[in-house]
Amino acid sequence: MNRAEIKNRLTEIFQDVFDDDDITLTDNTCADDIEDWDSLEHINLIGAVERAFKMRFTVREVSGMKNVGEMMDILEERGK
């Protein structure tokens, strides 16, 4: 899966988790950019991404992600 495909899939996941079809992701999108992205929704988001991509993030990866671009970096690397 290439980066564009990952971004498209993540956009669908974000729109579903946050129930907002207007969400458009960039590499720099972070919790401050999405109104309902709080700690509880972060857990829901991580779970949804893990299910969709059939993988598990490590605790270090989750705590180190500062934006969507870093999440895509991990997913892209794992997909190789």
**CATH number of 40's domain:** 1.10.1200.10
Number of domains into which the chain is organized: 1
Q: Mean pLDDT throughout 70-74? A: 97
Residue 80 confidence (pLDDT) above 80: no
Q: Is 59 helix (H, G, I), strand (E, B) or coil?
A: helix
Domain of 22 in residue numbering reads as: 3-78
Distance between CA 47 and CA 36 in Å, rounded? 16
Distance between CA 51 and CA 70 in Å, rounded? 18
Nearest to 4 by CA among 72, 77, 78: 72
pLDDT bin (cut points 50, 70, 90) of residue 55 is very high
Distance between CA 52 and CA 45 in Å, rounded? 11
Asked if residues 42 and 31 have their Cβ atoms less than 8 Å apart, the reply is yes
What is the per-residue pLDDT for 14? 98
pTM: 0.93
